[in-house]
Each structure stands twice: as C-alpha cells, then as structure tokens.
Amino acid sequence: MKRITVDLVMSFNPCYDRETINKLFAGKKWMLPTTVLKLDTVSYGDKLWLLCRSDFLDNKRWRLFACDCAERALPLFEKVYPEDIRPRKSIETARLFANGDATREELAAAWAAARARAGEQKWQLDRLAMYLRGGK
C-alpha cells in the first residue's frame, strides 16, 4: 500500500499550506490511506480529494468506488421514480465493465441511458423553476 507523505500531499497542490498539512501529520513521516480515512481532523471531502487519485486507486477500483457511491444515492431516486431502471442498469453495467464482464459498447449504451435520464430531470427542474418564477 502506498505511503502518504507531506511532500506527496503538497505535490497535489492542496488548498492548505505546508504548515497545515504538517499539523495533520502530527509529527509522522508518513501515513497509509487507511490511516487518513480514520482521521477525524480531516473532512470527508478532503479525504476523497486525496484518496481518489490514480496514485491510490487504479481504474477498476475507481469505477467500483463510483458505483458504490451511486448505489447509495439510488434509493432516493427510485423512491420518486420507481419505474425508471436506467440509473440502476447503468451502475450494474459499470460494475460489470470494471470486472471485465461488459464491453465498452455496453458501457457506452448504459451511460447514454443514464445521461438521457439526467437530461429529462434537468428539463423537469427547469420547468419547475420557470413555473415558480411566474412563467408558463
């Protein structure tokens, strides 16, 4: 597992200065990614910013992580649109692709379906916003 050092973090151009990063390391020369995850002095967003890099996640793990995140949000979508299976199928296909069980074409088709759904959602939100502003 790759070791994380202050110099490595600084090479990613964080929004914090070196002194702040040094304080987070609390005198340690390095940390493992699992140690960073356990830090309660670092926000979840900053942990993601650091650990979701190709230095720590290869393409397969990155794709599987993205699938895991999307699956956590899926129940919120399915509660409102229980009949729409496009997002679920897209996640399933992305997971299959990451594991070598789907083709690039299947992945592209699933992505297109999910993107179409997102476009429909944006259209609905735009219509709602127009209505709320007094438009038709």
Taking only the tens place, the pLDDT of each residue in 64-120 is 999 999 999 999 888 988 898 988 999 999 999 999 999 999 999 988 888 887 767
Q: Is the pLDDT of residue 130 over 80?
A: no
Q: Where are the domains of the chain?
A: 6-51, 59-132
pTM of whole model > 0.85? Answer: no
Pull the structure tokens for residue 43: 């926000």
Structure tokens at 102: 């789907």
